[in-house]
Amino acid sequence: MEIDPFIFRLSIFILSIFIGYYVVWSVTPSLHTPLMSVTNAISSVIIVGAIIAALAGSSENVFSTSSIFGFIAIILAAVNIFGGFLVTQRMLQMYKKKKGKK
């Protein structure tokens, strides 16, 4: 009997939860705010779904109801991707050691 591909995806999902569990526990508490902003940025990888939906139209019919939802989702996710990574970067730049001070 063949294994349903869904089971493979489920395996990836569950293993990733475990990876997430151990990786996040090792994050130093002082970086919990950047952790939230970066997780926020990476969860915007949902943009791949938005792109697929938006590209589904043909040249004659770029905007169907479905692709319009895709386009709006692209904007939302793009705000998050750029905003999330840049604000994380900005925060991380501020964390400095004693030696580095003027």
Partner 1 sequence: MISANLSAIFYLISGILFILALRGLSSPDTSRQGNYFGIAGMIIAIVVTFLSVGNFSTSLVYVIIFLMIGGAIGAFIAFKIPMTAMPELVAGFHSLVGLAAVFVAIAAYLNPEAFNLGGIGSIKLASLIEMSIGAAVGAITFSGSIIAFLKLRGLMSGSPITFSGQHFLNLILGIAIFVLIFYLCKTQSDNIFWTLIAISFLVGVLLIIPIGGADMPVVISMLNSYSGWAAAGIGFTLENTALIITGALVGSSGAILSYIMCKAMNRSFVSVILGGFGAVNSLDDTKEKKDQKPVKSGNAEDAAFLMKNASSVIIVPGYGMAVAQAQHALREMVDKLKKNDIKVTYAIHPVAGRMPGHMNVLLAEANVPYDEVFELEDINNDFANSDVAFVIGANDVTNPVAKTDPKSPIFGMPVLDVEKCKSVLFVKRSLSPGYAGIDNELFYKDNTLMLFADAKKMTEDIVKNLD
Residues 27 to 66 in contact with partner 1, rule: CB under 8 A: 27-59, 62, 64-66
d(CA 71, CA 25): 36
Interaction between residue 2 and partner 1 (CB under 8 A) = no
Q: Which two tokens stand for residue 44?
A: 């915007």
Interaction between residue 3 and partner 1 (CB under 8 A) = no
Positions in 64-83 near partner 1 (CB under 8 A): 64-67, 69-83
Count each helix (H run) and each strand (E run) in the chain, helices first.
4, 0
Interaction between residue 97 and partner 1 (CB under 8 A) = yes
* Residue nearer to partner 1 on the CB measure, 2 or 96: 96
**Closest C-alpha to 43, from 62, 60, 20, 65:** 20
